[in-house]
Structure 1
């Protein structure tokens, strides 16, 4: 049983913690945003260096690294599916009620007020609202849609909408998604591109196409009206380059390569494929990419087929 002295000590500790938090808040309020973000990057980089691995790293050899590094296995591994399955019950729970959509399809956190995730969901809702305007039903291709998270999210965002849902991903994810939603269409190959869709969603997946220009051309051809490419790592001042992510902390026993695309290169290619840019979005600042010539941000781009 705690003594009166212990209770007083606890109260002093709580008060001291509050003071520390208040001081940090004051410092943050007085620090210019650019400097604060730079300090945050340095802290994150220090943490990464203290780990046994660096999560995000620039790969000057590009996609050739996959041929020499056995740890670069890509997305078609069982551990990715197991992580999705473990997070699925929490994801379903967060879709209920009236709390904000500050959630991420991939992560199992119960917090529903994450500002970055809320920004991501609301920008998707904006793109979806344009694609579904004056429609009671749409056909939709979710390129790299994993096990169908956005199928449920779309139903929640527009409850009365009839969705002809098509999803393309690696075999281990597509097969499981098909077991969850037998009424939908899941693809392990690119036969999904043999037709057109009212709305094409490419969220957090486009950067994993080695020949990204050809992939964009194929996706544009499959777009009947709108295509939304989001969570795309974007840079502005240097040519596009390749990075590697080592996502072990999320339970993924794999590493994968991906592009950081120069915004100008990407938009020029999109224009050549017949896509008209409607709106750009800033999603978030990526964690520091070790040795990269420029740090990247996740951006989104909403296009309409001309």
Structure 2
């Protein structure tokens, strides 16, 4: 028997309820690899899955948790053997397939990658899907000429999971980082991660009619979208790129025309971490292990247990979570 956070749905009312229960291995879905989960983390999608509306969940009962790290217990796939340390992110785990909010998980071998050498499972989940997404965004900016542009790189939603890791990695790579937050009390936290400037969110959320503004940013990791993205696009330097990783502020680009793309050659790069090829995931994880300073990673961690998740799920949806919440299993 093992503990798991189980979300169940009342068929009469349509409401869902999450609580910690005991399950057996026979309850797990069919797949090739069984993992003893050591750590998971909290993401925006997890908040949606735990919440009373059920969000992204298709079948109940359900175990949320869109990523996890742990040790292989059993495997019918030759690539993994008992004792191997592994990481899983994406592939609709925690949405369409039971995920990491349990002490055991059973998943397809193709969804896993080996834990990078020198990284613990706790550190891997301090990175998690959010950190992997941040690294994928930075790689995309580099692939589109980030090194050719001088000046600060903007990170929106900088106190959140993606933003925190992006800020720390960019600073470690020697870039100036302008970190955007709507919470002034997080300024010291962001400077501790390496931000050289903290930009109030209000400065970038006012929609203006100007087709272009003064060139300010050499690149941008945008974890918010919505009105802020429309404003940021007008301020990008010629030929610079914006890597968009989330839609917390909305899917519409408000207040922006095609002008930044035509007159300044701005690139808009969409980053989705879910269906990344195996080689790309391995490359990103290895770079994270090499380029992300572990002492800064530790500073991002907010530890929690399974019993804390119903409360934390509501808090992340309300934008009140800082850094990386790591679930100890």
TM-score normalised by structure 1 residue count:
0.39
TM-score, length-scaled by structure 2: 0.37
Question: Max radius of gyration: which structure?
Answer: 1
More helix by share: 1
